[in-house]
Structure 1
Amino acid sequence: MTDARPQALLPRDLDHTSVTDRVTGLILEAPAPRPWWWALGFSLGLTLMFLLGLGYLLKAGVGIFGINIPVAWGFPIVNTIWWIGIAHAGTLISAVLLLTRQPWRASINRLAEAMAMFAILCAGLYPIMHLGRPAFAYYLLPYPDTLGLWPQWRSPLVWDFFAIATYLVFTVCFLYLSLLPDFATLRDRAKRKGAQLFYAVLALGWRNSARHWARYESANRVLALVAAPIVVSVTGIISLDLAISIVPGYHFTIFPPYFVAGALFSGFATVALLAVTMRSLFRLRDLITLRHLDYLGRMMLLFALIVAYSYSQEIFTAWYSGEVSYRHLYIDRWTGPYAPAWWAMFICNVMLVQLLWLRRVRTSPTALVLLAITSNIGMWLERFQIVFTSTHADYMPSAWDTAWPTLWDWLLYAGSLGLFTLLLLIFVRVAPVISLHDMRSLIHRRRPND
């Protein structure tokens, strides 16, 4: 039997000095643990594989992808939507938890913000890769062109460009502002001249003065307030890439909120995966406690239920509309060539996550990691079945066909996972994996029951 009382958010003996020593010591003093080097080597290999695939793509063209007519949008669009969902969730998680003053935010907000930063970089590569002529990606920019070539504003690719570019700029600002006080702490504690100079440049003259803190708090609050509409609007724009069409399986008005809920589901799952990994890799079990994992599991369950409700509304709308093509779409998804993807998605996103009702599962690092992995697989399969099953059998049976991913599709996808992991591993060795100023603030105002 497990204790019915929730574990304390932080141990009683934690104080400002011990937290600062622990977190800064991981960067300035302690050597990288051996598993970190193993993960770095593996992710570097996947990244090199990604660069190899990207080079061959530029040479041979998009024909290396498993796309055809009518399935003209294949893995690149699937992976774009998947990465964007993870990226948007990271910022929204950190911003909403900041605005609602949730104390457990202090241990996970840095992971969420870093995850958002690197996921949006991976997402931004795929629309360029999907262009028939990637070398001319700058045509999407609305710059004064003497040839009179302006972007086609009705093209979803142009919408994606502005959505991803806007979000990338915002994410850089949000993450960097959060890091400013911690860079100053590293600057003051560094013993080597190179490290002192490096963090001094990054700290931008931060002196821990009352004026600096007042401006920091104001700017952080403004960015957090801006984060929610930006994330919701950008995710809505990505969903409208599909919803504005009349293709069965795309043309659903529920897509904008449905995509936001799915993004938050996959985002909390990824944060839970990273939290368990970092607490084990750097021995941070007293800073990322089982209570943090419990909260992450609850949020995963909440958004999984919203996603399940969205699935039911999709199916209800298809039958209630009376459109034969919409009904056929779901019969095809359940029994057609892509049926394994739909049923695997349903198992991962609806059935397995029901285990999170059990507190014993939510507070088990192993169980939470497994559910986080299956949830991300399920969300990827959701994007896969939306893109592939909606187009392979549309209104004209004479145009029906199936498309299957090629080796290059899988290679580039695995490579993007490697690139994301590589950037994250480098980040945790350069910047604090836990926000020092947020953790100090939490310890300062800690209540007896916390």
Structure 2
Amino acid sequence: MSLASAPNACDLSVSDRLSPRADDPIVLSGETTATMTDHICAAPLAKHAPFWWWASLAVSLTFFFALVISVTWLFYAGIGVWGVGWPVAWGFAIINYVWWIAIASGGTFISALFYLAGVAWRNSLNRLAETMTVFAAACAGIFPIMHLGRPWLFYWLFPFPNTMTLWPQFRSPLLWDFFAILAYVTSSVLFWYFGLMPDLATLRDRARTRGQQLFYGVLALGFRGTDRQWRHYRAAYGALAAIMAPMVVSVHSIVGLDFAGAATVGWHSTQFPPFFVFGALLSGFATVLLLIVPLRRLLKLESFITGRHFDILGKLLLASSLCLAYAYLMEAFTTYYGGDRAEILSFKSKIGGEYAILYWATIVFNVLAPQLMWSRRLRLNQIVVVGVALGVIIGMWLERYEIVVMSLRRTHLPSAWGDYHATMWDWLSLLGSVGLFAAGVLLAVRFFPAISMFEMRALVRTSDAAPQER
């Protein structure tokens, strides 16, 4: 289908433009490079933010303030304020860490891997996916430091010469985790910022006030769009994408090895690295869908985030859900095939014990609900999409709770069994991290373009949309 064959944007009713359609191209007709640039630049260059932005930021900062309070109290009183103890020494801190890093990994998958694959539809989504990655990784990085007990000594994880000749244990998966997260957060920020540079230069040139010119001019680092600069830029951007693509797989595989490397009931399995990668993709796709539905309307991006994007993301959500379902089946198979009585007892407790509702809720949210995405009509229904995506995000958190708590509470020795009960400070840290993430995304879409303008220009210039539909 060509852009010209789609209904003209000026002829569409408001409801038609807001609602994704099955025959939508990647970019609706009626858009030119000039109108596209004007439209995307309008939000960051606006003198005043709209009411919905201030209201959303106020709610997000309220949640974030809860995180500040909980962290302050944690530093003062110690990790005893959490519900952790013996035998459940890992609690919400590790659950939240794994959950957030999975969401971050899914955003990198969309931005980096699909860039290398030359997929054109990602150009409308990669900025939001990269923004999601940066702030989700920031949320994830907080929790391991909080879990150290003496977080002000976090630098002891670094291998550096010291007077006590103490070195980290290089055979520990936790040290691998430290290096993986450090490399991932650093690379994610660089990838996001580097992708912003041409658009920052555009904002600098269009800025109306001296303050905006200085702000965007400094961030643009002198980018002027010369042939030489573009040549070096595209080479460097491709190299960063090539680095990020395998890193998104390795970082969550290492998170899985944190568990697989321990001789704990339910953890000591070689399937954990791919199992965690499947979960990362599922939660990442769900979070992107959850973000684009409201932002598409609030930022008036209906011409650039169309039914084509909902259709593709719905299929990717379905595919990753099927992969995760396979991992759940393999978990049951290997448990009974292995014949370890402790493993079998733990699995029976998981599916039929006092926490069985969490296990079956995980199955419903992560496996059954995404099956709705088989229908194109439902993939284009924004209410259904939000419901399924929100269910997946909740289901992935419940899965992490099940993995951490239900394995630790039932060890090999029945005499060492125990229970875990989260405290108010556990829940405040979770809600506070959600507030930090939401506030970060809101600030990003207010001061930076929500869509990559320099990548979208190639699509808008193309009169024949057939090459886009890959």
| TM-score in terms of structure 1 length | 0.97
**Residue 200 (structure 1) shift:** 0.7
Secondary structure, in 3 states, of the residue corresponding to 1:110? helix
Change in 2 beyond 3 A, CA 1:144/1:445: farther
Distance 1:3 1:408 in 2: 41
Question: Counterpart of 1:130?
Answer: 147
Question: Counterpart of 1:271?
Answer: 288
Question: Counterpart of 2:361?
Answer: 344
1:174 matched to 2:174: no
Residue 238 of structure 1 is aligned with which of 237, 255, 259? 255
After TM superposition, the runs of 4+ consecutive aligned structure 1 residues lying more than 6 A away are none
Task: Give a deviation string over 1:316-369, Cα, whole Å, max 9, x none.
Answer: 000111111111111100122221111111110011111111111111111111
Question: Counterpart of 2:101?
Answer: 84
Question: Counterpart of 1:286?
Answer: 303
Question: Counterpart of 1:103?
Answer: 120
Question: Counterpart of 1:57?
Answer: 74
Residue 186 of structure 1 is aligned with which of 203, 206, 223? 203
**Residue 4 (structure 1) shift:** 9.4
Distance 1:31 1:316 in 2: 58
Seq. identity, %: 45
Distance 1:136 1:91 in 2: 30
* Contact 1:77/1:127 (<8 A) preserved: yes
Residue 358 of structure 1 is aligned with which of 353, 368, 375? 375
Alignment of 1:289-438 (within 5 A): 289-438=306-455
1:212 matched to 2:198: no
- The two structures, once aligned, show a CA RMSD in angstroms of 1.5
Distance 1:333 1:424 in 2: 36
Distance 1:397 1:276 in 2: 48
**Residue 146 (structure 1) shift:** 1.6
Distance 1:395 1:138 in 2: 34
Distance 2:345 2:381 in 1: 42
Task: Give a deviation string over 1:254-297, Cα, whole Å, max 9, x none.
Answer: 11111111101100100111111210211211111122111111
* Contact 1:46/1:415 (<8 A) preserved: yes
Indicate the larger mover: 137-146 or 156-165: 156-165
In structure 2, the gaps of 5 or more residues are 1-18
* Contact 2:110/2:129 (<8 A) preserved: yes
Distance 2:324 2:47 in 1: 42
**Residue 154 (structure 1) shift:** 3.3
Residue 94 of structure 1 is aligned with which of 96, 102, 111? 111
Question: Counterpart of 1:260?
Answer: 277
Distance 1:20 1:390 in 2: 52
**Residue 149 (structure 1) shift:** 2.2
| TM-score in terms of structure 2 length | 0.93
Question: Counterpart of 1:32?
Answer: 49
Change in 2 beyond 3 A, CA 1:344/1:226: same
In structure 1, the gaps of 5 or more residues are none
Task: Give a deviation string over 1:382-419, Cα, whole Å, max 9, x none.
Answer: 11100011111121111111102111100110000000
Report the AA paired with residue 207 of structure 1.
Answer: R
Report the AA paired with residue 72 of structure 1.
Answer: A
